[in-house]
Amino acid sequence: MTETEMSAQLISQQQTVKFYQTGTFTVGNRLLDKEFRTVQATQERSNSIDSGHRACQGCGQALGARYALDTAMRVTGDKIIAANATGCLEVFTTPYPETAWSIPWLHSLFGNVASVAAGISASLKAKGDNETRVIAQGGDGGTTDIGFACLSGLFDRNDDVLYICYDNGGYMNTGVQRSSATPGGARTSTTMPVGEHPGSSFNTGKYLPGIAMAHEIPYVATASVHDLHDLERKVEKAMSFRGARYLQINVPCPLGWGSEPSQTIKLARMGVESGLVPLFEAEYGELTNSTKIRYQIPVEDYLKSQRRFAHVLKPANVEQLETIRTLAEKNIRRYHLL
């Protein structure tokens, strides 16, 4: 067995174990046999982002990015280059005059990261480097709004790039404006909870994993920072394909969501358990796997620990709550979550 095959097998064994890593469901890495422990538990783990960066306390994006890129480093033998869109991740990792990145990393603009990454990939190819892999990453704003055309072009050309979108449901870097990935009902600084339809409107916005699937690219997956083993596995799987791949990670943002920094992991899990954040994988446009909800929770439980949804839980807005419930049910049906 080659090393990669071995680690693939290990990973799949880890999946069958399915322990939660943190929060109330913690079993704890230290209780597992060594081979089942997460790679992050070893001192030899990859380290794409150094500590000391400037993210807020409890930033889900900082966590998601480190796990995703560490995994990519591990499976490629540290042979990755990352291109980054403008946004929180870019700003908090490179506060002048420092950088937290230990991999080659380029920030160009807010809306062009998919094309920049495609260019890096083309350059590597032209130079005969088949080993080094390319990752493009950005926030939901950079991905679903301003970078949408570039991203669609990347999918269309099937360039060899893994695109990772850290979805925190808004333009957090510039002070929490609505993006087209902001959930319906959520308060942002541009969708205040006032008037007849408080918060972000429903029936707007777009779901990029679905759009990526419609491009029939080799691999599309969604992940969440509460289940880091699953996230690691999906990055590893993504790296086993050539061509355009899309991974969207749900990353709670205490600042934008109005949540407690200590609740980030729990909140990420509740998003999934409520059905509002479906976790699944798709290959060449077809759904291949969905993560079943283990303990289904009412959407209210998820909403109530986020100030951005405070108005939704008021009796006057019961219709909004009903709409959100319907969305969860739709996800559950569409992605076979139960």
Ligand X SMILES: Cc1ncc(C[n+]2csc(CCOP(=O)(O)OP(=O)(O)O)c2C)c(N)n1
Binding site for ligand SF4 (CB under 6 A): 55-56, 59, 61, 88, 92, 168, 172, 253-256
Strands 245-250 and 280-283: what pairing? unpaired
With H, G, I as helix, E, B as strand and everything else as coil, classify residue 104.
coil
What CA–CA distance (Å, rounded) separates 315 from 257? 21
List the one residue from 140, 227, 230, 232 that touches Mg ion (CB under 5 A).
140
Q: What is the DSSP string of 290-323?
A: EPPPSS---HHHHHTT-GGGGGGGSGGGHHHHHH
List the one residue from 58, 142, 252, 275 that touches ligand X (CB under 6 A).
142
Chain positions 64 to 93 lying near another protein, rule: CB under 8 A, are 86, 90-92
Residue 46 carries which DSSP code?
Answer: -
Name beta bridge partners: 283: 219, 286
- Per-residue interface string for the shown chain with ligand X, residues 56-85, x marking contact by CB under 6 A: -----x------------------------
Question: Tokens standing for 96?
Answer: 């002048």
Given another protein, ligand X, ligand SF4, none, residue 171, with its beta carbon under 5 to 8 Å by kind, binds ligand X
Give the H/E segment covering residue 295. Answer: none
What CA–CA distance (Å, rounded) separates 229 from 29? 11
Given Mg ion, ligand X, ligand SF4, none, residue 255, with its beta carbon under 5 to 8 Å by kind, binds ligand SF4
Nearer to another protein by C-beta: 41 or 109?
A: 109
Residue 218 as a binder of ligand X (CB under 6 A): the answer is no
Strands 105-107 and 80-84: what pairing? parallel
Give the H/E segment covering residue 208. Answer: helix 208-214
Applying CB under 6 A, the residues found at the interface with ligand X are 61, 86-89, 110-111, 138-142, 166, 168, 170-174, 179
Which stretches of the chain bind another protein, using CB under 8 A? Answer: 46-47, 50, 54-57, 86, 90-92, 96-99, 101-105, 107-111, 146, 173, 254-255
